[in-house]
Every structure is written in C-alpha cells, then in structure tokens.
Amino acid sequence: MYVPKESQPKQGGGTAAKAKDGEKGGGRKIVAQNKKARHDYAIIDTYEAGLVLTGTEVKSLRQGRASLADGFVQVDGGEAWLFNAHIPEYSQGSWTNHSARRKRKLLLHREEIDKLAVKAEETGHTIVPLALYFKDGRAKAEIGLARGKKEYDKRQTLREQQDRREAARAIAAAKRRQRGA
C-alpha cells in the first residue's frame, strides 16, 4: 500500500535532533570570561560584538583556550579593536598559525562604535572585554563600557557577595531542618 511521504513518520522518532552547544541552533557556549574586569570595574553598559578571526584562532577557541585577563578595547579610526586578548596558537596548525596576542577587529554597528568612542573619552571610562563565546556557531565577544572602582567600592562589593552567600546558606540550612523535623 502506498503512503504519501508527508504522512510518513520522520526518522528519529519524529523528534527534532538537538544541536550541540556552539553549533547552529545551539545556545551560548562560553570560552573565556574576564572575572577580573567585573571586580575592578563597575560595568555601565554591555554590547555583543562579532570578531574577525583566522581559521586557527577559531579552532583554538573551539578547544576552549583563551584568556581575557589583560585585554582591552580601543576605538581607532572609526573601528573597534580588541587588544591583548590571548588566544594561544592552534596545536595542529602549521605556518598558517596566528600570533597569540595580535589585535582583532570587533564587528559593531556604526552607532554603537560612535557611542562607545564618545563615552570612552570621558574621564574614568574604559571599554573592557567581558567574555568570549560561540553563539549559533559564530565567535562573539561581550564588551562592556566600564568605570574604574575605588578600593572601598571593591571591598563593598565583596562584602555584599559574602552577605548574599551567608543568607543563602542560612535559608538552605533552615529548609533542611524543616524537612528533617
């Protein structure tokens, strides 16, 4: 008996195949985060920027190897550039390998670049990279417009984090006691 193709069940039990993280249709796969920047700076605004990378840089990022600890962003000639981000050389690369700390172009809209340039000129403001990640198979950088924290601001932030942790522990302990009684 002939059954039309559209009424036949799809392969795989009729469910859509799930995409792996970082591949097309997947979520956001974080490669590197700049925790030091969140400690040293008060983040005012964040932006998502594309990155212009070479093939070996992408392969090295897919292996989960990168560091943003010393990285910073500058607007130069109407373009945003990421400096000092460390993406190590790809281990299987040959003469096509990249320089680990080369400057990399950030892909942003013109309005965003202009806005960042004006804000970065103000005293005390800077642009810092916050994270490198893959979104729908493409390498992205999260950058933030930031203002430097004073030492007492850093201590205050640490105190607030510690207070939140202690409160969460106390709530968890109370819930455990309630279940046990």
Mean pLDDT along residues 38-55: 84
What is the arithmetic mean of pLDDT over 146-152?
78
| Of 164 and 9, the one with more pLDDT | 164
What pLDDT score was predicted for residue 12? 43
Task: Tell which wins on pLDDT, 172 or 14.
Answer: 172
Instruction: Work out the pLDDT band at 26, boundaries 50, 70, 90.
Output: low
Lowest-confidence segment of 7-11, 92-96, 132-136 by average pLDDT: 7-11
CA angle, residues 78, 130, 68, in degrees to nearest 5? 90
pTM check: above 0.85: no
Nearest to 53 by CA among 112, 153, 139, 146: 139
DSSP codes joined into one string, 5-39: GGGSPPTTTTPPPPPPTTSTT--EEEEEE-HHHHH
Beta strands 28-33 and 41-51, pairing class? unpaired
172 pLDDT exceeds 90? yes
Angle at CA of residue 49, ends 110 and 101, nearest 5°? 115
- What's the mean per-residue pLDDT of the chain? 78
Task: Give the model's confidence band at 169: pLDDT under 50 very low, under 70 low, under 90 confident, else very high.
Answer: very high
Highest mean pLDDT among 8-22, 72-86, 158-172 belongs to: 158-172
Q: Nearest-5° angle of CA 139, CA 145, CA 147?
A: 140
